[in-house]
């Protein structure tokens, strides 16, 4: 499989170029952050930046949303379909249509082809999650849409700039179809600035090393990734490894939606097949196969050595398949807006199957992906629209040798959070609590990470609220005797009367309503009764674990801030006996 047609590149030049490309995408990521206008991009960092060769193969990727990047190859196919012979210096192409290269409508891809004289040598690529692209619900992210036409403006691959000329028509159509045109156009400008910077730096590199080096570098870069991946896969025992995880429901129906995977290891190649997963569903959590591939590569990559690049060299060693017409390979016009959730669950499911192969490298399930809280409406006096798109992260599941992580991004993303003070200054909202969720960690020899709690009070007259949570009925799984983390909860209080909601909700709320999301905690790893009592005591002293949960979950007795070792031993013996 190694590409033999390439021009050779010496190991030193290879190392130098690898560093140079990494440096460029780093510059690009920083540029998006500095120039973007909407909080979802500039604060939460829901975007990604990458540099590709002329065939769209990734040369380097920034430390941004990891899940986006595996979808670049399919995006590139769509681009080629439309513009194979029609790319010119000064062109900029954008699109978001999930059925034509995109993932879901809010993620707008931007590709800027880069030319060295007449020769097309690569692309700057920037993908941003836009705060709104129209459709029936503010934020364009609802899980209860039933067809893509409800989800907002569909943009097939179109030229936003044609040989350097601004496409006024396209700009105008976007402006008229989104709720917050200033922010959307502003973020597109940020993508443009970033693509331009990537182009400038790429050309500086080709000036120095010649345009041919790109080919030589890429061939070696892919081979390097492939060599590392095959080296690892060949140490894995041949066989088939299955796992099933669930999504709670699609927003219409609460019936569990299974995702089933079978990983087949054969020599230095692995197959990842999703046969047995749910058929396509009515709600918007269907996920394109490109995104499923992206999630699969990511999960596998997470259990490899740190040096392995997440590039097409790795992808060569992994065959991903899912039957047509299923949740993981839906047919037009299925809605897909909330497909990120399905991506997270694919990652969890694949890691669950990998646990049988590399138990020391996986984690128990984490919070299950960020929960999304969208609130949109209009200021009563000014009629100015507002849209809050808040993403709540996260907890890492327990690991073989150490606890999970309390409050951390999902590993699929590397997202940040929106500062409370920025939210309160920007939106008609008050945040009443942002903290760790006590007792949410799954018990185990090592415990899961704690999820977070975020509580909002609406200060505007009314707003459409859209909540997307999961891990409500199917808590994050534990491994090897570890217990599941606490399931998530959505609580709505009107006039201090709390009411438990379902995991996915779209409804209108009014001034003074309090919305509370309690996120799931990470699963535990190993027998909780084997956890050192001192570690449990530390958590009790920090108020992360209550004395009641210390007893029930870990069999550890803490009285007045100290361990009762005799009582702990007795309790643990009793629990072990009951469990046996």
Partner 1 sequence: MTTTRLERSARMARIGVDIGGTFTDLVLADGQGSVFHRKVASTPAAPEQAVLEGVAAIVADAGLSPADVAEVVHGTTVGSNTLLQKVGAATGLITTRGFRDVLEIGRLRTPSMFDLQWEKPAPLVARRHRKEVAERIMADGTVLVPLDEAGLIAAAEELVAAGITSLALCFLNSYRNPVHERRAELLLAERFPQVRVTSSISVLPEAKEYERTSTTVVNAYVRPVLEAYLTRLEQGLSDVGVSAPLLVCNSNGALASSLTAREKPVFFISSGRAAGVVGGSRLGEALEIKDLVVFDMGGTTASASLVQNGELSRVSEYEFRAGISTPSRFIKAGGYMMSVPTVDVAEVGSGAGSIAYVDQGGLMRVGPVSAGADPGPACYGIGGTRPTVTDANLLLGYLPATLAGGSRALSVDASRAAIARDLADPFGLSPEDAASGVRDVVNANMARAIRAVTVERGVDPRDFTLVAIGGSGPVHAADIARQLSMPRVLVPASPGVFTAMGMLAGDVERYFIAPFPRRAPDFSAVEAEEAFRALEADARTALAGEDIDPQLMSIAREADMRFRGQEMSLSVPYVADAEGLQAAFRAAYEAIYSYCPSDVPEVVSLRVIGRGTRPGKLDFRAARASDAGETSPIATRRVYFGTDQGFVETPVYDRRRCPAALTGPAIIEGADSTVVVPPGARAEADARANLLITLA
Residue holding tokens 């996920």? 287
Task: Determine how β-strand 558-559 pairs with β-strand 269-273.
Answer: unpaired
Cα–Cα dist 488/474, whole Å? 9
Stretch that binds partner 1, among 73-81, 233-241, 537-545, 563-571 (CB under 8 A): 537-545
Nearer to partner 1, 30 or 480 (CB): 30
368 binds partner 1 (CB under 8 A): no
Among positions 66, 125, 155, 337, the unique one binding partner 1 when judged by CB under 8 A:
66
Subset of residues 475 to 494 that bind partner 1, contact rule: CB under 8 A? none
| Two tokens, residue 428 | 């008609």
Least separation in angstroms between residue 91's CB and partner 1 is 15
Least separation in angstroms between residue 158's CB and partner 1 is 20
Least separation in angstroms between residue 87's CB and partner 1 is 20
11 binds partner 1 (CB under 8 A): yes
Nearer to partner 1, 431 or 567 (CB): 431
Subset of residues 445 to 464 that bind partner 1, contact rule: CB under 8 A? 452, 455
- Interacting residues of 4 by C-beta distance below 8 A, sequence separation 6+: none
Q: Residues 32, 37, 38, 42: what is their CA dihedral angle, to the nearest 10 degrees?
A: 40
Cα–Cα dist 119/89, whole Å? 9
Stretch that binds partner 1, among 219-227, 246-254, 257-265, 287-295 (CB under 8 A): 219-227
Nearer to partner 1, 36 or 281 (CB): 36
Nearer to partner 1, 422 or 565 (CB): 422
Nearer to partner 1, 335 or 456 (CB): 456
Nearer to partner 1, 78 or 405 (CB): 405
Nearer to partner 1, 232 or 503 (CB): 232
Q: Exposed, middle or buried by CB within 10 Å (0-12, 13-18, 19+), for 30?
A: middle
Length of the chain: 580
227 binds partner 1 (CB under 8 A): yes
Q: Exposed, middle or buried by CB within 10 Å (0-12, 13-18, 19+), for 117?
A: exposed
Cα–Cα dist 347/296, whole Å? 6
Least separation in angstroms between residue 120's CB and partner 1 is 19
Task: Determine how β-strand 119-129 pairs with β-strand 158-162.
Answer: unpaired
Q: Exposed, middle or buried by CB within 10 Å (0-12, 13-18, 19+), for 417?
A: buried
Subset of residues 181 to 200 that bind partner 1, contact rule: CB under 8 A? 182-183, 186, 189, 192-194, 196-197, 199-200
Query: Residue 529 in contact with residue 577, Cβ under 8 Å?
Result: no
- Interacting residues of 248 by C-beta distance below 8 A, sequence separation 6+: 254, 256, 257, 470, 471, 472, 473, 474, 503, 504
Cα–Cα dist 555/534, whole Å? 12
Subset of residues 295 to 314 that bind partner 1, contact rule: CB under 8 A? 298, 301-308, 310
Nearer to partner 1, 68 or 154 (CB): 68
Cα–Cα dist 487/502, whole Å? 12
Among positions 1, 2, 7, 34, the unique one binding partner 1 when judged by CB under 8 A:
34
Among positions 47, 111, 202, 224, the unique one binding partner 1 when judged by CB under 8 A:
224
Least separation in angstroms between residue 99's CB and partner 1 is 28
Nearer to partner 1, 408 or 515 (CB): 408
Least separation in angstroms between residue 374's CB and partner 1 is 18
228 binds partner 1 (CB under 8 A): yes
Q: How many CA atoms lie within 13 A of 125 on its CB side?
A: 29
6 binds partner 1 (CB under 8 A): no
Least separation in angstroms between residue 363's CB and partner 1 is 5
543 binds partner 1 (CB under 8 A): yes
Subset of residues 424 to 443 that bind partner 1, contact rule: CB under 8 A? 424-425, 430-436
Question: Strand pairing partners for 446?
Answer: 525
Pick the closest to residue 213 from 119, 95, 329, 346 (CA basis): 119
Q: What angle, 0 to 180 degrees and rounded to 10, lies between the N-to-C axes of helices 339-354 and 289-302?
A: 40
Question: Strand pairing partners for 525?
Answer: 446, 479
Subset of residues 384 to 423 that bind partner 1, contact rule: CB under 8 A? 393-394, 396, 399, 402, 405-409, 411, 414-417, 419-422
Nearer to partner 1, 150 or 440 (CB): 440
Least separation in angstroms between residue 281's CB and partner 1 is 29
Least separation in angstroms between residue 408's CB and partner 1 is 6
The sign of the CA dihedral 346, 352, 357, 363 is positive
The DSSP H or E segment spanning 107 is: strand 107-116
234 binds partner 1 (CB under 8 A): no
Nearer to partner 1, 517 or 572 (CB): 517
Among positions 40, 52, 59, 62, the unique one binding partner 1 when judged by CB under 8 A:
62
Least separation in angstroms between residue 579's CB and partner 1 is 28
Question: Strand pairing partners for 408?
Answer: 394
Least separation in angstroms between residue 185's CB and partner 1 is 8
- Interacting residues of 93 by C-beta distance below 8 A, sequence separation 6+: 79, 82, 83, 110, 111, 112, 113, 157, 158, 159, 160
Cα–Cα dist 73/462, whole Å? 42
CA distance to 23, 29, 214, 215, 361, per residue, from 114 (Å)? 18, 18, 12, 14, 39
Site string for partner 1, 12-31 (x = CB under 8 A): x-xxx-xxx-xx--xx-xxx
Nearer to partner 1, 182 or 379 (CB): 182
Nearer to partner 1, 396 or 443 (CB): 396
Subset of residues 338 to 367 that bind partner 1, contact rule: CB under 8 A? 361-363
53 binds partner 1 (CB under 8 A): no
Cα–Cα dist 55/70, whole Å? 15
Size of the site for partner 1 (CB under 8 A): 93
Subset of residues 95 to 154 that bind partner 1, contact rule: CB under 8 A? none
33 binds partner 1 (CB under 8 A): yes
268 binds partner 1 (CB under 8 A): no
Question: Strand pairing partners for 489?
Answer: 518
Nearer to partner 1, 431 or 563 (CB): 431
Cα–Cα dist 291/69, whole Å? 9
């Amino acid at each position: 499989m190694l590409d033999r047609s390439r021009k050779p590149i010496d190991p030193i030049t290879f190392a130098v170029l690898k560093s140079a490309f990494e440096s460029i995408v780093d510059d690009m990521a920083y540029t998006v952050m500095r120039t973007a206008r909407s909080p979802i991009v500039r604060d939460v960092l829901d975007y990604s930046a990458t540099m590709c060769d002329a065939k769209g193969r990734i040369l380097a990727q920034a430390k941004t949303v990891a899940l986006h990047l595996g979808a670049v190859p399919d995006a590139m196919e769509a681009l080629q379909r439309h513009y194979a012979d029609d790319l010119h210096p000064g062109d900029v192409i954008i699109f978001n249509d999930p059925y034509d290269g995109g993932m879901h409508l809010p993620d707008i891809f931007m590709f800027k082809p880069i030319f060295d004289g007449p020769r097309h040598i690569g692309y700057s690529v920037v993908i941003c999650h836009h705060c709104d692209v129209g459709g029936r619900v503010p934020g364009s992210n609802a899980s209860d849409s039933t067809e893509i036409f409800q989800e907002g403006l569909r943009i097939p691959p179109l030229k936003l700039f044609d040989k350097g000329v601004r496409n006024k028509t396209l700009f105008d159509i976007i402006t008229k179809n989104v709720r917050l045109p200033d922010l959307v156009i502003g973020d597109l400008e940020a993508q443009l600035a970033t693509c331009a910077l990537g182009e400038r730096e790429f050309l500086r590199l080709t000036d120095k090393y010649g345009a041919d080096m790109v080919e030589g570098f890429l061939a070696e870069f892919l081979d390097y990734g492939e060599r590392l991946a095959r080296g690892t896969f060949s140490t894995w025992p041949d066989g088939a490894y299955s796992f099933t995880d669930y999504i709670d429901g699609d927003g219409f129906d609460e019936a569990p939606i299974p995702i089933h995977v079978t990983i087949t290891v054969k020599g230095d190649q692995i197959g990842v097949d999703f046969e047995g997963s749910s058929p396509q569903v009515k709600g918007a959590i269907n996920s394109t196969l490109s995104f499923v591939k992206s999630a699969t590569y990511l999960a596998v990559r997470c259990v490899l050595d740190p040096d392995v690049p997440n590039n097409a060299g790795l992808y060569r060693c992994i065959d991903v398949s899912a039957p047509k017409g299923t949740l993981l390979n839906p047919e037009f016009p299925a809605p897909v807006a909330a497909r990120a959730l399905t991506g997270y669950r694919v990652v969890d499911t694949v890691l669950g199957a990998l646990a049988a192969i590399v138990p020391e490298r996986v984690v128990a399930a984490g919070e299950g992906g960020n929960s999304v809280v969208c609130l949109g409406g209009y200021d009563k006096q000014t009629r100015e629209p507002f849209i809050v798109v808040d993403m709540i992260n996260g907890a890492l599941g327990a690991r073989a040798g150490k606890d999970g992580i309390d409050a951390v991004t999902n590993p699929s993303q590397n997202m940040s959070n929106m500062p409370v003070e920025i939210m309160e200054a920007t939106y008609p909202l008050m945040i009443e609590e942002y903290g760790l969720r006590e007792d949410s960690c799954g018990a185990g020899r090592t415990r899961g990470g704690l999820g977070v709690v975020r509580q909002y009070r609406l200060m505007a007259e009314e707003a459409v609220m859209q909540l997307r949570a999961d891990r409500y009925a199917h808590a994050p799984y534990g491994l090897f005797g570890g217990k599941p983390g606490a399931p998530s909860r959505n609580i709505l209080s009107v006039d201090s009367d709390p009411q438990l909601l379902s995991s996915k909700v779209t409804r209108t709320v009014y001034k003074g309503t309090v919305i509370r999301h309690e996120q799931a905690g990470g699963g535990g790893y190993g027998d909780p009764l084997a956890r050192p009592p001192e570690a449990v005591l530390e958590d009790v002293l920090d108020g992360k674990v209550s004395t009641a949960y210390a007893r029930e979950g870990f069999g550890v007795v803490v009285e007045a801030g100290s361990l009762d070792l005799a009582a702990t031993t007795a309790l643990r013996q009793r629990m072990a006996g009951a469990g046996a």
